[in-house]
Amino acid sequence: MRLDKFFSSQSLASRKEVKTLVRQGRITVNGEPAKISDIQIDPECDIILLDGKNVSYKKHIYIMLNKPQGVVSATEDRQHTTVLDLVPPPLYRSGLFPAGRLDKDTEGFVLLTDDGDFAHRILSPKKHVPKTYQAVIDQPVNQTDIALFQEGITLADGTVCMSAQLNVLDPGPQPLVEIVLQEGKYHQIKRMFESRGKKVLSLKRTKIGGLDLDPNLAPGECREILHKERFKILESPK
Ligand code: URA
């Protein structure tokens, strides 16, 4: 990889800024000051220092975003704010995309990454990485709803869903429920309740695999996912 590309890929400096840093003698490669900004380096083996400090290399980035309502899970949109618009410059990288979409009016955990293989692992229904949601429903949920979700509910268009868990967290005329899905069909939870004659009033994704949405993230905020947390994503929720 080129030295300037390395710095820009890690959101450390633009190619132009790397030129200046090189001219100022502030970057060394294996102990030698870099002479030009486009020399080839091996980010996994070479020791790159900026102002004498090690520049750590991350091949990929994994970000947890608490998506607010009104934001679209796309990389580009002419009219609406996208999930990528909410990523602050120090975390931003080209190639970032949302690993799984939430509807515009759904809030909660969206994982953004530039690692296509990891995204595939958490999205493919065959890999069984469950996604947990909380929803407020317009009317009480009964044992038949729970049993049918468990069995695999059939949507209005005949699509049969995989088995899903439905738990009532707070009963009442408009109960708060938890739903655990193993797949992600278009408007899935809304359509599952619709097929039972019920309406989802609000929806939030709270967990991906075994990793909870960080309660310290306000809607619109994001943070990097730690290395150890990445393994939790691939675990089943407790
Ligand atoms: N199910 C829905 O209906 N919408 C979402 O955003 C996610 C799951």
Give the model confidence (pLDDT) of 9-47 as tens digits.
Answer: 888 898 999 999 999 999 999 999 999 999 999 998 999
CA distances from 9 to 59, 63, 169, 222, 224 (A): 9, 15, 43, 19, 16
Helix (H) or strand (E) holding 16: helix 15-23
pLDDT score recorded for residue 238: 64
- Check: CB of residue 62 under 8 Å from CB of residue 118: yes
Please report the atom of ligand 1 found closest to the CA of residue 191.
3
192 lines ligand 1 (CB under 6 A): no
Cβ-based neighbour number of residue 106 at 10 Å: 23
122 CA from centroid of ligand 1 (Å) = 16
Report the C-alpha gap between 175 and 114 in whole angstroms. Answer: 37
114 CA from centroid of ligand 1 (Å) = 23
62 CA from centroid of ligand 1 (Å) = 22
Mutate to test the pocket of ligand 1, among 132, 187, 194 (most ligand atoms within 8 A of CB): 187
3-54 is classed in which CATH architecture?
A: Roll (3.10)
Selecting from 3.40.109.10, 3.30.70.580, 3.40.718.10, 3.40.50.300, what CATH number does the domain 62-126+212-232 have? 3.30.70.580
SS (H, E, C) 177-212: EEEEECCCCCCHHHHHHHCCCCCEEEEEEEEECCEE
Mutate to test the pocket of ligand 1, among 102, 111, 202 (most ligand atoms within 8 A of CB): 102
pLDDT, tens only, 147-166 = 999 999 999 999 999 999 99
Superfamily of domain 131-208: Alpha-L RNA-binding motif (3.30.70.1560)
Pick the catalytic residue from 103, 115, 212, 214: 103
Please report the atom of ligand 1 found closest to the CA of residue 187.
3
54 bridge partner residues: 49
134 lines ligand 1 (CB under 6 A): no
pLDDT, tens only, 101-155 = 999 999 999 999 999 999 999 998 888 899 999 999 999 999 999 999 999 999 9
Ligand 1 atom 3: residue of nearest CA = 187
203 lines ligand 1 (CB under 6 A): yes
Q: Structure tokens of 198?
A: 């019920």
pLDDT, tens only, 55-107 = 988 889 999 999 999 999 999 999 999 999 999 988 998 899 999 999 999 99
Over the chain, what is the mean pLDDT? 95
pLDDT score recorded for residue 2: 94
Instruction: Please state the rounded mean pLDDT for residues 173-199.
Output: 97
pLDDT score recorded for residue 237: 64
- Collapsing DSSP to helix, strand or coil, 17 comes out as helix
pTM of the model: 0.89
Question: Taking CA 96 as the corner, what is the angle to CA 113 and CA 65, rounded to the nearest 5 degrees?
Answer: 60
**Percent of the chain that is helix, strand, coil (3-state, to 5):** 25, 25, 50
Report the C-alpha gap between 3 and 32 in whole angstroms. Answer: 13
189 CA from centroid of ligand 1 (Å) = 5
Question: Is 103 annotated in the active site?
Answer: yes
Decide if 62-126+212-232 and 131-208 have a common fold: yes
Could you tell me the residue ranges of all domains in the chain? 3-54, 62-126+212-232, 131-208
pLDDT score recorded for residue 22: 96
Please report the atom of ligand 1 found closest to the CA of residue 106.
6
